Amino acid sequence: MAWASSNKQIIYSGIQPTGVVHLGNYLGALSNWVHLQTDYSCIYCIVDLHALTVRMDSAEFSKKCRETFAMLIAVGIDPARSILYMQSQVAAHSELAWILNCYTYMGELNRMTQYKEKSQKNEDNINAGLFTYPVLQAADILLYKTNFVPIGEDQRQHLELSRDVAERFNNVHGGVFVVPDILIPRIGARIKSLQDPEKKMSKSDKGGEGSIVYLTDEPDVIRSKIKKAVTDSDSKVSYSSDKPGVSNLLDIYAAVKRISIEETLAALGSCSYGALKEAVAEAAVAALEPIKQRYAAALSNKIQLESTMRTNAGRAQAIASGTMIQVRNKLGLL
């Protein structure tokens, strides 16, 4: 298999099965995942086990998992080249997570800011999974001898923990795990909310649906959301921190067109706000059209989709079991 025999370094990342993906996820993270496929052996995981920390209707959950899988294919993750799979279809994740639980301190988990935030938001369901969430994440990463983990700043603390746990295990038992490095994308655009451009575009944004462009939005919906985007009181198109709304629109244009801000300003610098919004909307519509088509195609063939899932889980499993054999040997598990 070309994948395993290549000497490329290994990239690993995970995404929650939220179903629909928005422009911020796409331009900030997923388009980077797509580009990384050129130079690395990439493994991308839909973390359905992590998602169980929050209760959800099971039919709705399956649907979201399929949608997320289809969306990753649609944006350009190639499941024949990279490994794209569902976390729960590879049992080694849960196995290693238990073992690593025994190498992680309560104090370390207590310090995790995401745990603190999430337990404040889910006061009625502060389950143990929420607490050990980062240990499962460490298991994900360490099973595959990952060199680099492309993630956002919000996940840095979790990655630090994965590194510490890997080093701790290696110190006791001799090197089994590769200690992974974080990979913060050099370019990745930080797209902001259309209604509150000081904040990042996010599903939890109070600005509501009008603040977010989903990759599956119809062209007219995209046009209308961008038309209503917050700008500022003056009318000059320029890129600066005191013009967050206009700058965000310029960022979107630059990112979907894959050009620099300088080039964007050369093209749009003398526009009125109305014309700017029109140009940004048309650029976004054009960029998302092929993604939407691929998404619909991938989702419409459920049998094919689930067979791709299974095949890829098998490829992941082959790597993960190799690591588990080493771990079991080190621990003296018979």
Q: Which residues form the interface with ligand TRP (CB under 6 A)?
A: 12-14, 16, 47, 50, 137, 140-141, 149, 151, 155, 158
Q: Which is nearer to ligand TRP, 14 or 24 (CB)?
A: 14
- Residue 103, CA distances (Å) to 162, 170, 189, 225 in order: 11, 11, 36, 48
**Euclidean distance between CA atoms 166 and 136, whole angstroms:** 13
Alpha helices in 122-237 (DSSP H): 128-143, 156-173, 219-227
**Euclidean distance between CA atoms 115 and 101, whole angstroms:** 16
Q: Which is nearer to ligand TRP, 103 or 239 (CB)?
A: 103
Report in angstroms how near the CB of residue 223 gets to ligand TRP at its nearest: 30
Asked whether the beta carbons of 164 and 108 are under 8 A apart, the reply is: yes
Asked whether the beta carbons of 222 and 260 are under 8 A apart, the reply is: no
Q: Which is nearer to ligand TRP, 15 or 215 (CB)?
A: 15
Q: Which is nearer to ligand TRP, 52 or 265 (CB)?
A: 52
Cα pseudo-dihedral 218, 219, 221, 222, rounded to 10: 120
Q: Which is nearer to ligand TRP, 157 or 278 (CB)?
A: 157
Q: Which is nearer to ligand TRP, 119 or 257 (CB)?
A: 119
Per-residue b or e along 61-95, where b marks 16 or more CB atoms closer than 10 Å to that residue's CB: beebbbbbbbbbbbbbbebeebbbbbbbbbebbeb
**Which residue has the CB atom at the shortest distance from ligand TRP?**
14
Catalytic residue numbers, as ranges: 118, 200, 203
The strand ranges marked E within the chain are 10-15, 41-46, 83-86, 148-150, 181-183
Which backbone phi and psi does 222 adopt, to 5 degrees? -60, -45
Report in angstroms how near the CB of residue 14 gets to ligand TRP at its nearest: 3
Report in angstroms how near the CB of residue 81 gets to ligand TRP at its nearest: 19
Report in angstroms how near the CB of residue 64 gets to ligand TRP at its nearest: 15
Report in angstroms how near the CB of residue 130 gets to ligand TRP at its nearest: 12
Identify the three-state secondary structure at position 137: helix
**Euclidean distance between CA atoms 179 and 207, whole angstroms:** 40
Closest C-alpha to 284, from 195, 217, 198:
217
Report in angstroms how near the CB of residue 134 gets to ligand TRP at its nearest: 8
**Euclidean distance between CA atoms 220 and 228, whole angstroms:** 12
Identify the three-state secondary structure at position 158: helix
Report in angstroms how near the CB of residue 273 gets to ligand TRP at its nearest: 34
Number of other CB atoms surrounding residue 174 within 10 Å: 9
Q: Which is nearer to ligand TRP, 183 or 265 (CB)?
A: 183
